[in-house]
Structure 1
Amino acid sequence: MPVRSPSSRRSWTAAITRAPKRRSRSGPGPDRRLPPISDERRQFREGIRMTAAERFALGEPSSVIAKELRVSVRSVQWWRRAWDKGGPRALRSAGPASPSRLSEAPFAALEAEPARGPVAHGWPVTDLHDLSDTLSRRPAGP
Structure 2
Amino acid sequence: MGNGFSNLIWEWDYHTDTRELLALYALGDALVSLSLQADQQAAEIPDCAYCDLTLDFGAAYQKFLELIAGHARPELLLALRGISDTLDELTPDESQCFTSEIFQLENWRIVRERSVAALEAIEWPELSSNRHFLETLQKIGWSEGSDKDVF
Normalising by structure 2, report the TM-score: 0.23
Normalising by structure 1, report the TM-score: 0.24
Q: Considering Cα pairs closer than 8 Å and 6+ residues apart, tell me whether 1 or 2 has the greater RCO.
A: 2
